[in-house]
Chains A and B, each alone.
Chain A
Amino acid sequence: MAKTHQSARPNQLFRNLNSKIASIPMIFVALVIFLGGSVWTVIYSFTNSRLLPRATFVGFDQYERLWGSARWLISIQNLAIYGILSLIFSLVVGFVLAALMDQKIRFENVFRTIFLYPFALSFIVTGLVWQWILNPEFGIQHIVRSLGWETFEFNPVYDPDIVIYGILIAGLWQGTGLVMCLMLAGLRGIDEDIWKASRVDGIPMWRTYLFIVIPMMRPVFITTLVIIASGIVKLYDLVVAQTSGGPGNASEVPAKYVYDYMFQAQNLGQGFAASTMMLLTVAIIIVPWAYLEFGGRKRG
């Protein structure tokens, strides 16, 4: 505050001393707990720690075992399917819903609440609700069959080949509302004059959206992307509640592998190796984003 105020002292270190002191706890937390904890985890992923951490280094053994494990490979594959599809669908559906809401419709508040409502539920509740909806004996399959289509089959929770799509449906149901709200906020941030100008020029509405509005909403899209992507990487509770990784290993995800091996198998080293791989994934997502967001701005 008050930058123009006389800066008599040349020593930069003591400028704004109060706020610097005030931010010490935050810096401490960031360095020791977040960074320190991550570094510690990475280091111990090279040990053969079992129930308790111990510093006997074994090189890349844990990683070798990790990438040789069928369950880890299934987890990665599932995360890729879930990640790519949920990214595409939640962005597309979220944007379309937001664009529809933006048409100055009646009862907008009501619709917004309805669409956002699932987001207020935890993943655990979402998972349980969809476990019931998709259950062949009580859910959709049962209802359609009792309406007369006797051979109708829709059983994603107990079919290993499509179980990940059952989870995807639940994930989309829960998360799309938030994307819609973010997009709606972005749309509302677009100047009315741009719409007027495009209307005067006779540009059809869909082209205005596609070629003018969406490029203008770049920051909103990037923020949304990061929020969705980080949610994807840490996907755990939805799977635990909906399928517990089953049937068999068919819906396992990396975060569940980490938890199971750290605590159930009492093999911290293996769990750390898996979580280091997850950290790497997050870094791959976050670093380009940070570069685009912060690096770009400095130059501009």
Chain B
Amino acid sequence: MRIRAFAAVMAATVALPCFVQAADLEVTHWWTSGGEAAAVKELAGAFNATGNKWVDGAIAGSGGTARPIMISRITGGDPMGATQFNHGRQAEELVQSGLMRDLSDVAEKGKWKEVIKPANLLDSCTFEGKIYCAPINIHSWQWLWLSNAAFKTAGVAVPKDWNEFVAAAPALKKAGIQPLALGGQPWQANGLFDTLLISLGGKDLYEKVYKDKDAKVAAGPEMAKIFAAADKARELAKGSNVQDWNQATNMVLTGKAGGQVMGDWAQGEFSLAGKTAGTDYTCLPGLGINDVLTTNGDAIYFPLLKDEAKSEAQNVLAETIVDPKLQVAFNLKKGSVPIRGDIDMAAANDCMKKGIAIIAKGNTATSTDQLVSADTQKQKEDLMSEFFSSSISVKDAQARFVDIISSAD
């Protein structure tokens, strides 16, 4: 490392006066909660160790706030060195219009095609055979988090699946406990619905609706069952007057609510509060019914830059991200599953291990972010947030859902 730094200084003084400045790489992301920030620190440290400099560009306020800022910077001609997006189609048009850098060389050198698992992560980075992003972690949505204390207060056993949870709800209510915690932000209602769909309806139904966009299936009796379940969930969630997902998680954490359906990033909140899986809280992947997890998560994209030295630094960052050591360090802090199957995650806690095992078995499905466009996703969010906060009938909601699916792309 010292030799490389020395070489950099030499190069900077002799040949390329812009080299030192060029090795500064601004990385924008929305990892701002406690566990997330710790994970970013790992990544920044590993990148700095290569002789380059990580310039942190954290944007507070979740992806919905951060993405418009990132996109307008890239389209407006002021690209950063690298930026976070979720796996999927959020950066699709940026790639199509040639604003992103092709990483195929780095990918080939690092044998990404062989090490990155599941393969669909790399597929969503690929456009016309070239690779445009480096996947960094896997998150899945299909988790039911339960407060053991709440069920103890209510005098019922901790449920083993969604159906038992629904059955236990009256007892919770009687004890003055909110059965299901649900934050008011639209993406949470949408995520809850999609989780019910894949966990209760199965992977086939999920793929027919979101992958094939089959309006007939969306209008069919199987989906009607999902909407009935969502109606039940709506009833159980009534009264949780919170906005943010971590406030809802906090209700479960403190035993004020029985459970919450939320992605495995909620894990970070539990471990931050020093709770132990199994005794303080219970996690049920696939809602305890269907062991299939979707592979959401984050990837780093690299805007096309004119500066050669900066482009070189982008390659280095891409290599760093996929590096096994960084994968372990980063994902342990973040509470997510690493993107390669060939590393040891012995330090992970029980819930994380359950998730890793399911993904290793190959029981994965492509996430909705990858299957449908941001536009369709937003329409779904609008529908679901309205559904969960109002009293529109199941029938009307399904009819509107069919409309969205039939015009989805």
- A-side residues, CB < 8 A to B, are 50-52, 65, 69-71, 74, 135-137, 158, 160, 244-250, 260-267, 270
Contact = CB atoms under 8 A, between A and B. Distances in A.
Interface string B67-86: 11001100100000000000
A264 B75 contact: no
A250 B373 CA distance: 25
Contacts of B159: none
A248 B72 CA distance: 27
Contacts of B377: 265
Contact of A70 (B72, B75, B186, B386): B386
Nearest to A261: B378
A137 B378 CA distance: 31
Given A52-B97, A263-B68, A264-B64, A247 B374 contact: no
7 smallest CB-CB distances across A and B, nearest first, come from A248-B389, A263-B68, A265-B378, A51-B93, A247-B389, A267-B375, A248-B386
B184 A244 contact: yes
A140 to B, nearest CB: 15
A265 B241 contact: no
A262 B67 CA distance: 12
Interface in B251-280: none
A244 B188 CA distance: 14
B100 to A, nearest CB: 12
Nearest to A131: B243
21 contacts: A51-B94, A65-B407, A70-B383, A135-B241, A137-B241, A158-B241, A160-B389, A246-B185, A246-B389, A247-B389, A248-B189, A248-B387, A250-B389, A260-B378, A261-B375, A261-B378, A262-B68, A264-B64, A266-B90, A266-B374, A267-B378
Contacts of A266: 71, 90, 93, 373-375
A70 B71 contact: no
Contacts of B75: 51-52
A264 B389 contact: no
Given A160-B389, A249-B390, 7 more contacts: A70-B386, A71-B382, A136-B241, A248-B386, A266-B71, A267-B374, A267-B378
B374 A246 contact: no
A246 B390 contact: no
A247 B241 CA distance: 9
Interface string B349-385: 0000000000000000000000001110111001101
Contacts of B143: none
B210 interface: no
B254 to A, nearest CB: 14
B222 to A, nearest CB: 24
Contacts of A50: 93, 373, 375
B388 interface: yes
A246 B241 CA distance: 11
Most buried by B among A70, A245, A266: A266
B53 interface: no
User: From DSSP, what is the main secondary structure of chain B's interface residues?
Assistant: helix
B241 A264 contact: no
Contacts of A245: 186
Nearest to B376: A265
Nearest to B72: A263
Nearest to B69: A263
A264 to B, nearest CB: 5
Nearest to B385: A248
> Contact residue range for chain B?
20 to 34
B333 interface: no
B400 interface: yes
A266 to B, nearest CB: 4
A243 to B, nearest CB: 8
A137 B241 CA distance: 9
A265 B379 contact: yes
Given A266-B373, A266-B374, A244 B241 contact: no
A250 B390 contact: yes
Interface in B78-109: 90, 92-94, 97
A262 B389 CA distance: 24
A284 B241 CA distance: 39
A183 to B, nearest CB: 37
A158 B240 CA distance: 9
A70 B388 CA distance: 15
B194 to A, nearest CB: 17
Question: Which of A69, A74, A137, A247 has the most CB atoms of chain B within a 10 A radius of its CB?
Answer: A247
B71 A246 contact: no
Given A50-B93, A263-B71, A71 B373 contact: no
Contacts of A246: 184-185, 243, 385, 389
Contacts of B184: 244, 246-248
A260 B68 CA distance: 9
B26 to A, nearest CB: 21
Nearest to A248: B389
A73 to B, nearest CB: 11
B395 to A, nearest CB: 15
A264 B387 contact: no
B386 A51 contact: no
Contacts of B390: 160, 247-250
Contacts of B64: 264
A267 B375 CA distance: 6
Contacts of A70: 382-383, 386, 400
Centre residue among A51, A70, A71, A260 by max chain B CB count within 10 A:
A51
Interface string B398-409: 001000000100
Given A244-B243, A249-B382, A265 B374 contact: yes
